[in-house]
Amino acid sequence: MTLPERQLANAIRALAMDAVQAANSGHPGMPMGMADVATVLYSDYLKFDPTDPKWADRDRFVLSAGHGSMLAYATLHLAGYARPTIDDIRNFRQLNSPCAGHPENFELEGIETTTGPLGQGLATAVGMAIAERHLNALYGDDLVDHRTWVIAGDGCLMEGINHEAIGLAGHLQLGRMTVLWDDNKITIDGSTDLSTSEDIAARYAATGWHVECCDGHDPVDIRRAIDAAIADPRPSLIACRTIIGFGAPNKQGTSATHGAPLGADEIAAARTELGWSADPFVIPADIAAAWAAFGEKGKALHAEWNDRLSSNEKKKEFEDRLSGKIVPGDAFKAYLDGLVAEPPKVATRKASENTLSALTADIAALVGGSADLTGSNNTKTPSTKPLTKGDYSGRYIYYGIREFGMAAAMNGMALHGGIVPYGGTFLVFADYCRAAIRLSALQQQRVVYVMTHDSIGLGEDGPTHQPIEHLQSLRAMPNLLVMRPADAVETAECWALALAQEGRPSLLALTRQNLPPQRHDVTENLCEKGGYRLRAASAARKVVLVATGSEVALALDIADKIEAAGHGADVVSMVSTELFDEQDAAYQADILPPDALIVSIEAGTTFGWERYTGRNGLRFGIDSFGASAPIDDLYAHFGLTVDAITPRILAKLGN
């Protein structure tokens, strides 16, 4: 006997009600409202194998409305994934349960991406859809032939990142991406009428999307809308008209179901309303069997795919690509040798471009882009032709003025697999994409942020474009590797380090202005230590000058003056405080000895440098906003010159 689909959907509703009630915390309304849509999606459309959550050709399903996390946990459990177990769900939102308040991909294999900040799940899914089309263009339908599905709420569609994401998806005509909008007209504050009157469907249509509407509680109508989406070559938005908290007779359709437990009385009433007599956290055997059957279809599709892979001439290349193991090759080695033979005086943004030219020639997985600053960020190379709706095999994405959308899409590409994404903008605009950078770090994804114009050194554009607090604020972010190289050799070494970071993102802070060469030896990647002694004192060491990026050259000139006054001065290039902090205590003490005066020099805020200088050290930087002027005038104005800094160091030394 075939069970009514409403009963299968009610299993989601029951688990959502019970888990939120047990935790006394959570959002039952969305899972209850979208249960019918999710049931149809899993039963007839979503391609997955619960025994292998990382199958390369699975569909990607993203719950962008992450507050409704119980929808994801319930469907994963019902569909036969090893976790979450019923005990995991019973401990929803509790310490050490993988069923966190919002879905976290590092807790459960069936969760494709960490969501929570509204809109980012949808924007991340755009990157997944780009990755699928790119790899399909390279390996064909036999190996890459899947879809990207998103469940999003009103909040996801209101957030500013949504505009960036859907504009990019529409422009690239990502027809294998479908967004199922939980159109319940309720937010935490109440009816959406309180805060919005826009025509969302018209907005999506205007950006090149196909739009459908359906009754989100009618399986026949849901299937009709999904079938129409699949048939259309454009990305699709399906407005699923639903009732939030469906089945809770006294609270459904109101914000009371959005972010709080229903309460024992309302849950009892809902069980009666839904015809659900099972005890809390118990799924009747016939319903459990019906859900398990959905996963069996995916296992068969997976087996067929394995057969195709085994006989495909690109099998090894494809598996190597998906493994994520990448190593710079002959072009990169030749480039390093050239730096030693002819040390260039170039901006580190240009040194980055030169490095990338070698790396992209070696590594096909590198896919780059820029937020409309290609000529300034120097992120395009001869090996990276544009990725367009007419040719997805390209490796360079013109993101437009969409810094946040770019960063989120790069997360999606990295999460999808087979791509190592990098993207450029100005360092000051890290603020625009900080929330996505944070998710890169939280999810431990290898994403490379190329941030140029890294200081007042950009000159006349003025304080709105001159980063001051940005380096230190980014260094404060857990699991983000921030690197500020001082010349072309350090830039190349930083790129090699960024690509080696399989468990964290990297950010390269690069100059607009030319910098003289400092390093003339590439036998060892010294940047790997984070901070290293670039030049040792020639006299008895009394002071250690610690500088980053463009200020390393300044520190070397200051060291000359200090040594001329009879004091030995080491110069340390502190490329990355994160990497330096990872070294053992003996190394750190050798580089920053306790008996020396430690002086930091960086064209940014001095906040935080006391970690290395101590309270008795000196810190030279900028603790105000910048100004609009030529570069030399700015460095003089802010006291970042040999003549301004040297006397203060000598005075501290007792001269």
Helices of type H across 86-195: 86-90, 120-139, 154-158, 160-172
Check residue 2 and give its pLDDT. Answer: 74
CA angle 406, 412, 415 (to 5 degrees): 140
Q: Are strands 541-547 and 396-398 parallel, antiparallel or unpaired?
A: unpaired
What is the strand order of the sheet 420-426 is part of?
396-398, 366-370, 420-426, 448-452, 506-509, 481-483
Q: What is the pLDDT of residue 636?
A: 98
CB atoms under 10 Å from CB of 370, counted, come to 25
- Cα-flanking dihedrals φ and ψ of residue 148, to 5°? -120, 120
Q: What integer pLDDT is reported at residue 623 of this predicted model?
A: 98
Distances (CA, A) of 307 to 294, 300, 416, 548: 21, 11, 22, 53
Q: What is the mean pLDDT of the chain?
A: 97
Give the model's pLDDT for residue 1.
47
What is the predicted pLDDT for the residue at 327?
87
The amino acid sitting at 353 is E
What local confidence, expressed as pLDDT, does residue 3 receive? Answer: 85
Helix/strand/coil percentages in the chain, nearest 5:
45, 15, 40
In this predicted structure, what is the pLDDT of residue 532?
Answer: 98
pLDDT at 47: 98
Reduced to 3 states (helix: H, G, I; strand: E, B; else coil), residue 541 is: strand
- Give catalytic residues, as residue numbers: 403
Three-state DSSP class for 305? helix
Where the chain has pLDDT below 70, the residues are 1, 655
Report angle CA 209, 211, 216 to the nearest 5 degrees.
Answer: 140
